[in-house]
Structure 1
Amino acid sequence: MDWYLIVFETIDMRSFSNLWFWIALAVVWSTASHWVLGVPFDMVTRARRHGEQAAEDLEDMTRINVNRLLFIAEGAGLWIVALGSAVLSILAVSGFVYGVELMQALFLLGFPMSMVGLMSVATAARIHRDALSGPDLWKRLTSHRFWTQVIGMVSIFVTALWGMFQNMSHTVLGG
């Protein structure tokens, strides 16, 4: 028997029935929810509990990441939005119109993450504009994390439903 055939029979290469896709989905959303504007969320918790140096460290780290994010958005934001929109459009059309399952999976990962990216730029702009610090900053970062988690939960739910539909379709249709 051909080695290549054995590998592909053993490991299902369709996206929604592949364990690696689901692991990647979990890692993406876990990471997105832990790193709020590039700041690890445990720093927010530590700043709330211990104040002083921990709060100062959080404010410094947030300021650095907010300035970095706004610099990128101002300098290349239009190009990033245009390229991101083009890539998401290609994924959506090739996935849902032409039925390429890998493209569907990538779209279901990429589209919600693009929403989190837009939300991150808006949050960074608000933090910068309002010069947030202390409890106001902690509240804004916590709110951002909450909405990131909401987007993640909805995304995982929709992806799971679509994945089950795809897997059942392939089982029923034998394809």
Structure 2
Amino acid sequence: MNWTDALFDVIDMRSFSNLWYWIGIAVLWSSISHWVLGVPFDLIQRARKYGGEAEEDLIAIVRVNVNRLLGIARSAGPWVLMFVCFANSALLVLAFFYRIEFAQALLFIVFPLSIVGAVSLSSAQHIETNATDAQSLYKMLLRHRLWTQIIGMVSIFVTSMYGMYHNLTVPFW
């Protein structure tokens, strides 16, 4: 027995029937919902509740992350967009034209993350132009978190429905 056989015996490459895939999806969406534009949600709550130094920290961290995100978008935006579109298109073709299960599983992760990336960029632009005080910043960050959670819930629902369909229709060898 060589090492690749041992590896594939330990790690089941059938993605939708693999517990680790579902644990990974749960951890991924939990982490993305917790970090709102690079700011931990507990810092947003603490700044809203106590103000003062926590509010100043929040404003500083948001400013740094918004400037970083918009700087990347302004300098390499077309290249990043081109790569993301290529990756999503390649995964789409591999997943549904060639029926590769691993590509299907990756597509159900990467495509919603692309949407969250676009929402993050939109939120960063909105914060840069419209966040004049702390209350409007809180509102924008919470709205961004809500949209991220909605995208995550829809993604998990669609992934689980497709995963159940796939597990019921594709025979296990």
Q: TM range, normalised to the smaller chain? A: over 0.9
The answer for unaligned runs of 5 or more in structure 1 is none
For residues 96 and 145 of structure 2, what CA distance do their matches in structure 1 show? 30
Which whole-Å CA distance do the structure 1 matches of 2:109 and 2:18 have between them?
A: 15
- 1:147 Cα offset (Å): 0.6
**1:101-120 correspondence runs (5 A):** 101-120=101-120
Matches within 5 A, 1:113-152: 113-152=113-152
Are the equivalent residues in 2 in contact too, given 1:127–1:137 (CA < 8 A)? Answer: yes
Q: C-alpha displacement at 1:83, in angstroms?
A: 0.5
1:85 deviates by 0.2
C-alpha distance after superposition, 1:98-135 (max 9, x if no partner): 10000001010000010000000000001001133311
Identity %: 49
Render the CA deviation track for 1:58-109: whole Å, top value 9, x for unaligned: 0000000000000000001110000000000000011011100000010100
Residue correspondences, number: 172
- RMSD, aligned α-carbons: 1.5
Shift of 1:12: 2.9
Cα pair 1:14 1:101 within 8 Å, conserved: yes
Residue equivalent to 1:166: 166
Q: TM-score, normalised by structure 1?
A: 0.92
Q: Tell me what 1:66 maps to.
A: 66
Q: 1:40 to 1:98 in 2, by over 3 A?
A: same
Query: Are the structure 2 counterparts of residues 70 and 11 from structure 1 closer, same or farther at C-alpha, using a change threshold of 3 Å?
Result: closer
Provide TM-score, normalisation by structure 2: 0.93
* Amino acid of the structure 1 residue aligned with 2:54: A
Q: Distance in 2 between matches of 1:93 and 1:85?
A: 12
The answer (yes or no) to whether the contact 1:91–1:107 under 8 Å persists in 2 is yes
Paired with 2:16 and 2:99, the residues of 1 have a C-alpha distance of 13
SS in 1 for 2:170: helix
> What displacement does 1:137 show?
0.4
Deviation at 1:169, TM superposition (A): 1.1
